[in-house]
Amino acid sequence: MTALVIDGLRKTFGGVKAVRDLSFTIEPGSVTGLMGPNGAGKSTVLDLVCGVTKPDAGSISIFGEDTAGLRADQVTRLGVARTYQVIRLTTGLTAVQQVITGCYLQRETSLLASILQMPWARQRRREIEDIAMYLLDRVGMADRADILAEAMSYGEQRRVEIARALGSNPMLLLLDEPTAGMNVQEADRIGTLIQALRDDGLSILLVEHSMRMVADYCDHAVVMNFGAKITEGPPADCLDDEKVQDAYFGRQRDADSQ
């Protein structure tokens, strides 16, 4: 079944048409790169998919389920997880605690059993701690599990945020510029991780500003400008497209000021 179907999506903020008549799909087990200059509307698309903001028109369906009328936490329960363009980790929690918050949907423990610390609740919590450590290991952060996230470097916080997103064992992962502010080696490690996750069966929507990341790590690319899709297809073809070149290098300043 198709992982994500976006059809005729539209969203306006005041006078700004952030997303206009956008349609595309994500095939299961693939990495789709969502590209476009700053202000193109990429993050708004993620917010709409997650149910954080409601579309003015159009529909979104995730693994066949229409998300219209669902709260954000209900959309998450369909198997969606995300990271944020501006890191949003919880203040005062260590790396492993951050990932445990991400495992909330996997807790399998009733409120009462959890409060009374019943033996099975403790057992499950230990399993969750193991899962959290495993996920930190996957993003290369296992040795920093007990460090407060706010004491970490920017790139490290990004990786913790990815581990947190994986905590709910999602089927569709939305990453909003996960390599922003990283050097090339760091970005390549994230790229390798993204492909490994895809090989595990995850469907991934990767919002990326960098053409190189999309060319190297995505199976499919969708390019937006001024809220609308300008082209889609294999990454290499998209990057050569005149309209894309124009959007990135020709009219960059217009897009920024919109």
Q: Which pair of tokens denotes residue 153?
A: 């470097």
| Strands 65-66 and 80-82, bridge-based pairing | unpaired
Q: Which pair of tokens denotes residue 137?
A: 């290991």
Q: Which pair of tokens denotes residue 232?
A: 């889609």
Tell me which of 2, 38, 101, 123 binds other proteins, using CB under 8 A.
101
95: three-class secondary structure by DSSP: helix
Residue 82 within binding range of other proteins, rule CB under 8 A: yes
Residue 203 within binding range of Mg ion, rule CB under 5 A: no
The 153-182 site mask, x for binding other proteins (CB under 8 A), equals xxxx-------x--xx------------xx
Q: Which helix (H) or strand (E) holds 121?
A: helix 119-138
Cα separation, 182 vs 155, whole angstroms: 6
Cα separation, 192 vs 186, whole angstroms: 10
Closest approach of Cβ 107 to ligand ADP, in Å? 31
Cα separation, 250 vs 252, whole angstroms: 6
Tell me which of 43, 76, 203, 225 binds Mg ion, using CB under 5 A.
43
Task: Count interface residues toward ligand ADP (CB under 6 A).
Answer: 12
Sign of CA dihedral 19, 24, 28, 29: negative
Please say which residue, 186 or 208, places its beta carbon nearer to Mg ion: 208
Please say which residue, 186 or 208, places its beta carbon nearer to ligand ADP: 208
Angle at the Cα of 7 from the Cα atoms of 59 and 252, rounded to 5 degrees: 115
The 35-64 site mask, x for binding other proteins (CB under 8 A), equals ---------------xxx------------
Residue 69 within binding range of other proteins, rule CB under 8 A: no
Residue 43 within binding range of ligand ADP, rule CB under 6 A: yes
Of 57, 67, 80, which is closest to residue 9 (Cα–Cα)? 57
Residues in the site for ligand ADP, rule: CB under 6 A?
13, 16, 18, 36, 38-44, 258
Task: Give me the residues that bind other proteins (CB under 8 A), please.
Answer: 50-52, 71-73, 76-77, 81-82, 84, 88, 90-94, 97, 100-102, 104-105, 107, 109, 111, 114-117, 140, 143-144, 146-148, 150-156, 164, 167-168, 181-183, 185-186
